[in-house]
Amino acid sequence: MKAFLVKKYGKKEKLHLTNVAEPTIKENEVLVQIHSAGVNLLDSIMQWGDFKLFLPYKTPFVNGHDMAGVITKVGASVTKYKVGDEVYSRVGDYRIGTFAEQIAVQENDLALKPKNISMDEAGSIPLVALTAWQALVEIARIKKGQKVFIQAGSGGVGTIAIQLAKHLGAYVATTTSTKNIDLVKSLGADLVIDYKTQEFVTILKDYDLVIHSNRDKKVFEQALSVLKKGGSLITLVGPPTPEFAVEIGLRWHLKLITKLISSSAKKKAAKLGVKFVFLYMRADGNQLGEITKLIEDGVIKPVIDKVFPFEQTNEALSYVESGRAKGKVVIKIK
């Protein structure tokens, strides 16, 4: 089969289209013929090697975390799925490889594809929707009437998180550029801040939750300041924390590193009486199944910017890295 490989870590490196062996499946896995693969900044971060200290992949490896497709084989102990099922997944860590024609996926990382959306739309959903779900539902437990600030509302996570937060009954503020104001309003944002002409820190106050996705240190400190006492900032961009290290089972010296690099952020949060949480989302088929219901009920709608042919996977990654995408970018494989 054809697949795009990371042969060497590095920001100047490109993925290489290569013929590789068809995956073999274990008892608890299925083989999926991939129709569409979502593209995420995480894919670039893995390729660059920025996260290899915590999630090391031995090169060469196939990149890609999101996919939608059709099951062609099932392992002996698989009970939830059968050949011919249309499924989607943010595949598990150390199991990535969706920039390929086929992939072996653990049964527990899968969900049935929503019936009312296309393969391209389904391929765009898993990583960003699970990120939104784990931030809003699992960690923050957002309730009706609470105030949520979602940075970068027109991005992949932002477009889904706005819709989910509104479904949960929250008042939602977000930032975006002038040209995307109508988009985020259409998704349900109550307060839209044009980051090119306005400073959110002068407008927002006493928020229960910030979903933080800006790497600028100054923006991080400003985001902490808009929270009320007891509020939470959930960061998607780091720094990683000791709690994260424990969750993914890192060795003691890596736990120490996360303690050191997150200590400043934790101190700033503690001084303000708020919580600081690093979220590195995980694969979860059960949660994705809940998201499927919301999509089929019309609560969440995918937002896709561009669909690239499989051969232009490198171009798709470059487009995501540019930060210009509205919603998600997808690669059509079949």
Q: What is the pLDDT along the chain (334 residues), one digit of tens a residue?
A: 999 999 999 999 999 999 999 999 999 999 999 999 999 999 999 999 998 998 999 999 999 999 999 999 999 999 999 999 999 999 999 999 999 999 999 999 999 999 999 999 999 999 999 999 999 999 999 999 999 999 999 999 999 999 999 999 999 999 999 999 999 999 999 999 999 999 999 999 999 999 999 989 999 999 999 999 999 999 999 999 999 999 989 899 999 999 999 999 999 999 999 999 999 999 999 999 999 999 999 999 999 999 999 999 999 999 999 998 999 999 999 9
Alpha carbon distance 278, 86 (integer Å)? 32
pTM of this prediction exceeds 0.95: yes
* Residue 146 token pair: 């609470």
Chain CA centroid to CA 161, Å: 11
| pLDDT reported for residue 210 | 98
Alpha carbon distance 279, 263 (integer Å)? 16
CA terminus-to-terminus distance, the chain? 12
| pLDDT reported for residue 248 | 87
| pLDDT reported for residue 153 | 98
| pLDDT reported for residue 19 | 98
Place of tokens 């999101």: 66
| pLDDT reported for residue 103 | 98
Instruction: Give the other-Cβ count within 10 Å of 77's Cβ.
Output: 10
| pLDDT reported for residue 214 | 93
Inter-residue contact 102 to 20 (CB < 8 Å): no
| pLDDT reported for residue 298 | 98
Per-residue DSSP letter, 273: T
Domains located in the chain, CATH noted = 2-124+302-332 (3.90.180.10), 128-278 (3.40.50.720)
